Chain A
Amino acid sequence: KNQVEQSPQSLIILEGKNCTLQCNYTVSPFSNLRWYKQDTGRGPVSLTIMTFSENTKSNGRYTATLDADTKQSSLHITASQLSDSASYICVVSSKRGGGNKLTFGTGTQLKVEL
């Protein structure tokens, strides 16, 4: 069964600090991995997307890594801001039929405090 597990479940950090969120997956066949940010009461918004051949991808203060051998990904947030407080969801795509089957993690709830 395809699964995506994220850790930690929740995290509190001080503004300006860095943090790293983890994602482990068992999805086959692998197509790509995405990190989404979901603010409270809003739909998820894509941060990064990585395919099998990509090891790292950055989007501003967000840097995602992918190790396809160990089936692990991380999302590193640099110099956190209060607006980074949100749920961060790891999504792994498996190509199936005419489209992609997405498996969602349960998310890491990040809170950035003063």
Chain B
Amino acid sequence: GAGVSQTPSNKVTEKGKYVELRCDPISGHTALYWYRQSLGQGPEFLIYFQGTGAADDSGLPNDRFFAVRPEGSVSTLKIQRTERGDSAVYLCASSFAGEGTLHFGNGTRLTVT
């Protein structure tokens, strides 16, 4: 597509539920990043994929968070047993290899009630 697409744009879920957030990167971009952004803050790194593999998952806050990119294109961020503190905007970005300018999607706003 023309840009990075993230779905859904908004997600409201109850505490304890499981959610999946989807990212469709720019075609041909091998690098894909997930970030989390709280209000008034800069994006916080979660995980970076190069192709199908997670090259750096050091930003995932705990084992409730997991991400996959099985075919090296679309990625899914999965959050188990959601907590109210997980509420934030989850941003996805992609780039050529790991060197280029990041192109961000518009994010998924997650609200855990």
- Chain A residues near B (Cβ < 8 Å): 4, 34, 41-46, 49, 89, 91, 96-102, 104-107, 109
Contacts and interface: CB of A to CB of B under 8 A. Distances in A.
A49 B99 CA distance: 12
Nearest to A10: B40
A105 B42 contact: yes
Interface string B42-77: 111100101000011000000000000000000000
Contacts of A97: 55-56
Interface size class of B (residues with CB under 8 A): 20 to 34
Contacts of A43: 4, 91, 93, 104-107
A101 B71 CA distance: 23
A45 B4 CA distance: 12
B56 A107 contact: no
Given A43-B91, A89-B42, A104-B43, A99 B31 contact: yes
Interface string B68-105: 00000000000000000000000101000111011111
Given A99-B31, A100-B98, 18 more contacts: A43-B91, A43-B105, A43-B106, A44-B43, A44-B102, A44-B104, A45-B104, A46-B102, A99-B50, A99-B56, A99-B98, A99-B99, A101-B56, A102-B45, A104-B35, A104-B43, A106-B42, A107-B41
A80 B105 CA distance: 26
Contacts of A105: 42
Contacts of B106: 41-43
